[in-house]
Amino acid sequence: MTGEAALLPEPAERYLEHLRTERRVAARTLVLYTDALTRLTSGAASLSLPLQALQPHHVRMLMARAHAGGLGSRSLSLQLSAWRGFYRWWGRQGGVKLNPVEGVRAPKAARPLPKALPVDQAVALAAHAPEAGDECLRARDHAIVELLYGSGLRVGELVGLDVRASDSSAGWVDLADASAQVRGKGSKWRSVPVGGASREALAAWLAVRHEVASAGEPALFVSQRGTRLSASQVRSRLKALALQAGLPTSVHPHMLRHSFASHLLQSSGDLRAVQELLGHANISTTQVYTRLDFQHLAKVYDAAHPRAKKKSG
């Protein structure tokens, strides 16, 4: 709801004049504050209260209404800031003893869901075998995709892997044990399983790795120059592979980690296990994937359940 300054009560008019002449705020800011004070005035009127009679619970009620009406967290924060500034100014003028906006906070913005590939797209990317290009590097790229999606590694953990364990190693893969030891955030070690498809891809890469790796290079994954592959190089290769595989979206390494977590949770429902596999210190970090899982279940429900579909008129 918006309105002109002429619709505002006299104290609000004087506050806007103060902003315009003494504070010299930008024109856009003045428009936003005018709108916010118009909302405040209308809200107070809807409660049959003058502005000086508003209490914190009234302000929270008005904020809840605005939020329910579709106003986002950023807009609500700006609105609260305008109201708070107005009441502070008015208090210095002797107009009110209480600032009803102090202590009232806007709702936090919803945490965006991590992007995950649908199962068929993730599998298609992992199974994609480009015909063109160096055979050795194709084997390397295939192993990278399988390990990112199959074990949920962070890209930093992936490029830190060595061919074998050592005192200075940041991680390694044990094909015989079907596991990888990785050092994640906070230098914490964890063991993750390496599936059959990943082991086959890694064995194929290890069989030809010597053709490009520099002598004495410990890194599991190396570039054409024979040195350890960087995270940015992995991102670039993955983006190119996704295009070659015909995926409709740009793919980055963390998307495969999200896909690993989401698809595993869809199948198992075991949040604690997913937390351990991802190396999350706090399960609240992992719980975001329950929202992804619910989205998947909701789509299944909408498509399959007879009571989910609207009756035709």
For the segment 152-159, the average pLDDT, to the nearest whole number, is 92
Tell me which of 39, 138, 154, 263 is the catalytic residue. 154
Phi and psi torsions of 174, nearest 5° = -110, 100
Q: Are 62 and 124 contained in the same domain?
A: no
pLDDT of amino acid 297? 43
Q: Are 162 and 200 contained in the same domain?
A: yes
Q: Are 138 and 55 contained in the same domain?
A: no
Q: Are 279 and 157 contained in the same domain?
A: yes
Task: Give the C-alpha separation, 134 to 148, whole Å.
Answer: 21
Q: Are 308 and 302 in contact (CB under 8 A)?
A: yes
For the segment 54-80, the average pLDDT, to the nearest whole number, is 88
Question: What residues contact residue 272 under an 8 Å CB cut-off, 6+ apart?
Answer: 283
Which of 49-53, 126-130, 180-184 tops mean pLDDT?
Answer: 49-53
Q: Are 175 and 194 in contact (CB under 8 A)?
A: yes
Q: Are 156 and 253 contained in the same domain?
A: yes
Task: Determine, yes or no, domain membership for 144.
Answer: yes
Phi and psi torsions of 111, nearest 5° = -70, 125
Q: What is the DSSP string of 258-303?
A: HHHHHHHHHHH--HHHHHHHHT-SSHHHHTHHHHHHHHHHHHHHHH
For the segment 26-47, the average pLDDT, to the nearest whole number, is 92
Tell me if residue 254 is catalytic: yes
Tell me if residue 289 is catalytic: yes
Residue 23 has pLDDT above 50, yes or no: yes
Residue 290 CB-half CA count within 13 A: 11
Residues of 95-114 as b/e, b for ≥16 C-beta within 10 angstroms? Answer: bbeebbbeebebeeeeeeeb
Task: Determine, yes or no, domain membership for 296.
Answer: yes
Task: Determine, yes or no, domain membership for 277.
Answer: yes
pLDDT higher at 179 or 296: 179
CATH code of the domain in which 47 resides: 1.10.150
Q: Are 126 and 271 contained in the same domain?
A: yes
CATH code of the domain in which 272 resides: 1.10.443.10
Q: Are 10 and 76 contained in the same domain?
A: yes
Task: Determine, yes or no, domain membership for 308.
Answer: no
Q: Are 232 and 179 contained in the same domain?
A: yes
What tokens does 107 get? Answer: 């709702």
Q: Are 216 and 286 contained in the same domain?
A: yes
Is 68 in a helix, a strand, or coil? Answer: helix
- Tell me the residue length of the chain: 313
Q: What are the tens digits of pLDDT across the range 46-63? A: 999 999 999 999 999 998
- Band (225; pLDDT cuts 50, 70, 90): very high
Tell me if residue 67 is catalytic: no
| Residue that is last in its domain, among 75, 92, 109 | 92
Tell me if residue 209 is catalytic: no
Tell me which of 185, 210, 299, 309 is the catalytic residue. 185
pLDDT of amino acid 271? 66
Question: What residues contact residue 176 under an 8 Å CB cut-off, 6+ apart?
Answer: none
pLDDT of amino acid 210? 95
Residue 4 has pLDDT above 70, yes or no: no
Domain housing 52: 5-92
Tell me which of 60, 254, 291, 296 is the catalytic residue. 254
Tell me if residue 280 is catalytic: yes
Residue 265 has pLDDT above 80, yes or no: no
For the segment 23-45, the average pLDDT, to the nearest whole number, is 92
Residues of 177-215 as b/e, b for ≥16 C-beta within 10 angstroms? Answer: eeebbbbbeeeeeeebebeebbbebbebbbebbeebbee
Tell me if residue 185 is catalytic: yes
Which of 6-15, 55-64, 101-110, 124-133 tops mean pLDDT?
Answer: 55-64
pLDDT of amino acid 103? 84
Query: For the chain, how many structural domains are there in total?
Result: 2
For the segment 93-102, the average pLDDT, to the nearest whole number, is 92
- Band (235; pLDDT cuts 50, 70, 90): very high
Q: Are 76 and 151 contained in the same domain?
A: no
Strand residues in 91-134 grouped as ranges (E): none
Q: Are 192 and 180 in contact (CB under 8 A)?
A: yes
Q: Are 264 and 207 contained in the same domain?
A: yes
Task: Confirm whether pTM is higher than 0.85.
Answer: no
For the segment 141-170, the average pLDDT, to the nearest whole number, is 92
Tell me which of 209, 252, 263, 280 is the catalytic residue. 280
Question: What residues contact residue 285 under an 8 Å CB cut-off, 6+ apart?
Answer: 275, 278
